[in-house]
Structure 1
Amino acid sequence: MTDDNLRKSIEDIVFVCDRHYRNNPVEEKTLKQLEEMYNPVNAVWWYTSETFIYRILNRALNRQDFEVLLVFRFLIRDLYKQLANEQQKFDVPVIIVYRGQIMTVEELESLKINETKFISFNKLLSTSLDRRVAISHAKIYNKDIRKTSVLFEIEANARLQGAKPFANVTHLSQFEMEQEVLFMAGSVFKILDILRNENEKLWIIKLVLSGTEDNNLRDMFEIMKQEIPEETNISTVGDIFFQMGKYDQAKRYYKRLIKLLPETHPDISVCYINMGTVANETGDSKTAYSLFTKALELELNQSSLNQLRLCAILNCLGISTNDYNAAIDYHNQALDIQLNIVGYYDYSTAGIYINLGNDYLKQDDYDLALVHYNKALDILKKVLPDYHPTRAAILTCFANLHYKKKEYDLALDNYQKALSIQLVCASDHIEVGKIYKIIADIQLDMNTLNEALFNYRQALLVYEKASLNTYHTQIIEILSKMAEIHKKNENYELAIKIYEKLLSIQLGYLPWNDLSIAWTYKEMSFALMQERYVMAALNCVYKLLYILEGNSFPSDDPYIIWTKKLINGYQTIIDAAQNQ
């Protein structure tokens, strides 16, 4: 990492932490020192110092809080490198270290019955070469009968391949008396034995360092190594969240930047571009267009116009506008700038050709759409590896084209190819959910119901994991179609369960009188009747009528008349059953 990028990374920490520690003189002083004095060779010293850095980083590691971890990426990298370098200095290959702590009885019992016999530590693990120091930490006065004292006795081989690094950091730490050996976050240990030492009145847990990586933190370390670019700017952390499909975190980060930066800041327009991109990806094109327009205004007011940034804004305006002719105009303006400055064989040029293809596809001009998609494909074949998310994107474009032309087999083939690439790149990215859903839509059209149901379930898993808040509209649509399939398959009990889940989301996110809720009550009543739940079905129809009347449907409206007839029919069935 260059000095400039290190400084920018530290600025990210100051930016994020300032809101927590403003008006706290001690921590404000720490932030200032960090900004002015941090050096990678002092990473361990900074981590072990009695400041908020130790607390906030370990909490983030424990919770796998990517937002904080990405901000602290430089410190995690430097700690990793420093521990790996120091590990080479051990005189003997195998050492014994100790860690004393208080643990709940439940935690101890879970270790005793641990079938895998492995334990991982998400946080950096502090141990001591001095058993007495470790025992002093275990013997801290404890009144809580639900907790007990434990001593970890750890055997670690400094020559072991595949393990996270560890090192004697006594000479690097602020606490030299503790003879500290520090293990990197994600270290995994095999449990050898757990026994009670009655003389010392504590539990002894014997561990040995394992070469197995902790799966829970593997993604985080891969991001640290691969996804974070060397050249960073003020929005880099938000950009990484966006690339990961974590749009809520990206949006939160960009919002903080906009609040912090003055409108004269040279990168302020980038924040609005990124905020607009998040809005567009989550289906809010109106907000996106407004944000892109603001970005254009800010960029045009800069003392010197950044042509590539102007190109990006024009491209984004084209994506978000509902005027197809205006979209083509925006994208052609962006393409002219892109070709003049960067040239044809560039990743970004391919992106503009894809957007132009999408514009023509919306106008049902299949030939021009195909021309532009082929140009994008020609570029991407030369500039990107086979398994890259953008290669999946162009396959999705071809699939969309075939789908609109009702060439379902060709559409499915391209969607499946795109899905296979996305699953390799990022299996929980929102694009995976989108592809699963559209594959299911096609299969539903083709009446291959079981295959469609499987893919709707896969899509639902991705959307629910991403964010119910952001994707409730898509989740509602998927649940509606899943219920429809269960009804066609005459699995009415399953359909009822889906409708119950669907209603809970609709009632949580939509106005009480939204007509889609009324139609869910209607469809649910039919499923309930098939299972002879007549009273429950009647209740649904009364709620249907309530919503219709809440939308001011007149009394002679066909829907009102039909609904009242249905109520009378269900009531007749109930009365007949009661008179038997």
Structure 2
Amino acid sequence: MDFRIRIIDGSQRRSSISESIDYKSIGGKQYQIVCFGINENDIRMPVDVDPLQSITDSIQFFDIANKCIEHLEQTKSMDIFIIVSEQQIDDFISRIPIQENIRLIYIIRQNYGSASCIKYREQTREYGKVKQCIYTNFDDLFKSLKNDTIYYLVNAEHYNLDIEKIEKSVDSFIKPWFPEFIDILCKISYPEDQLQKLVRFLRLYTKSNEVDTFEREYKIKGAIYYYTKETFIYQILNEQLRQHLYQELNAAHKELIQEFSNQTHLPSLYRGQMMPKSVIDGLLSNIYIQNMQIFSSSFEKNVSLMFRNLELTQNSFVQNVLFEIKVDLRTRTAPYADIHKQSHFQDEREVLFMVGNRFRVENVKFDEKENYYLVNLVLLNDFEPIDLRISKDYCDRRNLKNCISTLAFQMYHIPETDLIVFFDELMKLYPSEKWIAAVMNFRQGQYQQYEKKDYHRASAKYDCALKIWLSFNNDIDLNCSIDIGHVYHQLGVCHQSLENAYSTITETFDNAQTSYLKADENSRSEHERTEILNYLAYIYTRQMELYSQDIQMMREYGSKANDYRRKFIEKINQNELYDRLIVSESHMLMAVNYEKMKDYDGMLNSYKMALDIYQQQDVRDQTSINLCLSEIIKIYEKKKDFKSAIIYQELKHNIRLQYNEPKEGDSEITLRHKKQRTQSSHLELAKLYEKDNQDTLALKYKVLANVSEEDEIADETTAIPIILDI
């Protein structure tokens, strides 16, 4: 991305907000100014650090290029803005590492006092982050740096909750991998010298005595204290202390549950901040969001409103936002807790939410009187707590393997170069665990298979992973038979895509099945045994699909697949840590298998059981409910049982009418969508009544459909797609 274009285009918007910003605490983000070749004591143009310190406390001066480059390469956890002397740029610019966190580079000419900026030589244009002018005094440079800093950080969405939007459609949903990544980093064990490594890293960042204080007091005061303490190393500690913070939050979370044990919900929580208008607009069209960083909230609404900037208007680039968060204490989530006892600010009841909590956006409304957007959020259930992967029955190596292997299932869409960086760091941290390379090869294979559709390269990566895993086949601690089964499974899918020999495909799937069965024998964890049942169900489903022309073989393998799926459901129902939605999805998978086996009674029963679970949820997934109803209706129609079909069609019809009820504020397009869906529902019900020879009712709904149709005649030029069939 060319940052120059963004900055030039946004210059007017920058100037409208920059005067009212606390530059040191933009979204809690820390950043650093690095100066190279700047003579601090130049008599003709002395450097006044006060303006720089109004932007950040972290300022580094270098006069040796190698040391400066080494510092840039080692400092990747914060944004960096570089100021370099014109006399030093020829050999320096080309050596600056290509890093996302290096934002902009400013060139200063210290030998002249002119207040004008001139166009710089052509070669600097090849490095897109160099400002295309030379500054001839520090006042102009500092003013530009302030404006660029605030505009970049706001436009890059560091002002917001660091949310990741989750698609509405269940079919297109890909679970974000980053929160799970952070959760697992908090769970795995680390070498005992990690705190000293952090201290050494902090000393590279600054020479402040605060590092000595941190080293002495950290084990006494803990992670929450340092998270809440405003220090020069706030952002680094936020990122580096996540594991201890998770553990302390988890303990404090239990205390919070106990404190409110006689209630089902916490009092409302509030979070005040500023966000770009474009991000707020995005919340209007996204039902679910997920926090991608630790964030805080308060029981006190007035405390959260202190974050407002009263000078902003409804047309400003950034807006005041107040989140009101509803928390059901019965939900299973990543930790959140009242931290006032452990906090640096013990007089404030602050509630911290760990990374990875999911929320539903209930409403977004602008309060003109109070000058802020009110966003109502509801905390949602976590789909599967990572705690299930950690067992006291396992050694640290086994828990580490389970965490890393399972995490990487969500990472197949990450580019291969980024995966290598991720796994290289893991292999440096755990140099004796050579099996980590197998996990890396497996994820690279998935990337080639699912993202690049390069099945030859994917197969080669799977072969590498298999070779490494097989060398650990007798390592009882690891029980890598599960991982070997995963490799054979994906390798078999690749063979199918490449249309390799039928015998090769069946042999590969048979090897996967054998590996999973061996893993079950060596398992010491109930969760692991439960997951193996799920894996076996998938393998038998794959084998069933190989016999699409042989109904007897399809039924043989399909029955085994559903038997394992049924056992999986039984295990899930016995463990309250699992979400009931996993059971409903499993019933739907069984229904699909029954359909391929032409067992319509089994298919009907499975969809009914899934529907029953979906309808019991506090927050109903209308898309899944509608899918179950549609399939049940089709089965009854196939059986010529129209009376039963009508029962479910009426249920579907009532849901549609409720969902498509016109509301105040609906746009014309939304109203037309709702009318068309209502008309379609009337017609579907009319057709079923007609098939059941209930002509009076059939006529009634045809008339209602015609009324809706007449309403649509006024504007037939606009095509109205039905995005959701509800």
TM bucket normalised to smaller: 0.3 to 0.5
Query: More helix per residue: 1 or 2?
Result: 1
TM-score computed with the length of structure 1 as normaliser: 0.44
TM-score computed with the length of structure 2 as normaliser: 0.36
